[in-house]
Amino acid sequence: MNNHSRIYSIDIMRGLTLLFMLLVNDLNMQVAPSWLGHMKATFDGMGLADWVFPGFLFITGMAIPFAFSKRLEKKESQYDISKHILIRFISLIIIGVLMLNTERVDPELTGIGKNLWATLMYLGVFLFWNDYLKKDERFLLVTSLKLIGLAILVFLVLKFRSGEPENNGSLITGWWGILGLIGWGYLVSAFTYLVCRDSILKSSVMLVIFLVMNMLSGWNMFGKLDSIKPYLGVLIDGNVPFIVLTGLIGGLIIKKFRSERYHFVMLTFIGLGIFCIASGFILRNWFIISKIQGTPSWGMICNGISFLLFALIFLIVDVKKKRRWSLFLKPAGENSLTAYLAPDILYNMIWMSGVPVLIYKQSQNPWIAVIGSLVWALLMVGLAGLLSRFNIRLRI
């Protein structure tokens, strides 16, 4: 494995976290075991769902050194790479905010039902951000489809009304939504790599800065910055950037040490995993373990779990070369945004139809509820693979 060869375990862990995201998002937590879901904001502890999102943030950071190394190899300029980072960031922010507001649609004031508004919104997203093949050869067709998608999104934003006093009932940024949070973490980590390149030390300094900010935020030390928190709160709180930066450090470790030193990589990841988990429990003396509060103790424990899980996947997939078992995760790993968004289109269409397709959600049997959601998640991963065969894949 040289510095630029593909790390299959990154795709597989990305696919695994996507599968878990689809699973926990679908679970009926009135029936399913509580340890599978999110814990309440004031509860000192975490369930499976509380690790899934930071697990995806971690793997997002881990992929950055490899993705940007390819761009640098192609002699792309700092300006072009910076433009790519900003476009991806803005795109994630836009989609995240649109998704966040789907639940706020007032059908009477908007003139469009909530489910229909959401369905049209996702249609616009897929039309605008789809990775069309042969763009140059089909310039007019591709441009027309993108413009249609953009027109749909603009129309929906202009029509949107929530009936709430905030912003006169228009869209809000709120907490930016899941994709928006990923966008903020990606922005910080991508520019960190662009500036620090393969320096683990310099990147670690950035990680420590955001970890300290996360701690200071937890101690309410940034009260004077309340006026800008609605805009830069994710950066000020520090939690999301510090998790993505931890993944970036992991990616740098793999990138810098070739296959002949895989034992060193394995031991380093195991050591870092144990260190992060232990640090998280030490920080528990000052901060409860809470995903909703975004505490540093929770972030550190999640990073530790991610290091240990990735070490296991790396050993099996990239060292032992045993990959056949993971083929079912490949569509989600390679088309993560498609896998994440496509199910929402189906949800809204099912809800509009009123047909009880997801009958397992009505069961009071925990096993049926969990197995049903797991089957749904697996089908959605398969759907992402099927859509990619028809050249429907989101690329930002």
What is the reported pLDDT for 1?
43
pLDDT digits (tens, 9 = 90+) for 330-374: 899 999 999 999 999 999 999 999 888 899 999 999 999 999 999
pLDDT digits (tens, 9 = 90+) for 23-46: 999 999 999 999 999 999 999 999
104-130 burial, b if ≥16 CB within 10 A, otherwise e? bbbeeebebebbbbbbbbbbbbbbbbb
What is the reported pLDDT for 168?
84
What is the reported pLDDT for 261?
75
Q: Is 52 exposed, middle or buried (0-12, 13-18, 19+ CB in 10 A)?
A: buried
**d(C-alpha 189, C-alpha 238), whole Å:** 12
Q: How many C-alpha atoms does 384 have within 13 Å on its Cβ side? A: 28
N-to-C CA span, the chain: 28
From residue 177, give the alpha-carbon distance in Å to each of 92, 117, 187, 253, 272.
9, 17, 15, 30, 29
Q: Which residues pair with 130 in a beta bridge?
A: 394
Q: pLDDT below 70 — which residues of the chain?
A: 1-6, 258-260
Instruction: Name which of 65, 81, 70 is nearest 199 in CA terms.
Output: 65
**Residue reference for tokens 């202009």:** 158
What is the reported pLDDT for 258?
65
**d(C-alpha 264, C-alpha 262), whole Å:** 5
Q: Looking at this protein, which amino acid is placed at residue 191?
A: F
Q: Is 70 exposed, middle or buried (0-12, 13-18, 19+ CB in 10 A)?
A: exposed
What is the reported pLDDT for 3?
45
Question: Where do the structural domains in the chain lie, given as residue ranges?
Answer: 8-389
Inter-residue contact 291 to 38 (CB < 8 Å): yes
What is the reported pLDDT for 259?
59
Q: Which residues pair with 394 in a beta bridge?
A: 130
What is the reported pLDDT for 51?
96
Helices (H), the chain: 8-26, 48-73, 78-101, 107-110, 114-129, 139-159, 177-196, 200-218, 229-237, 239-256, 262-283, 296-314, 330-334, 336-353, 366-389
Q: Looking at this protein, which amino acid is placed at residue 318?
A: D
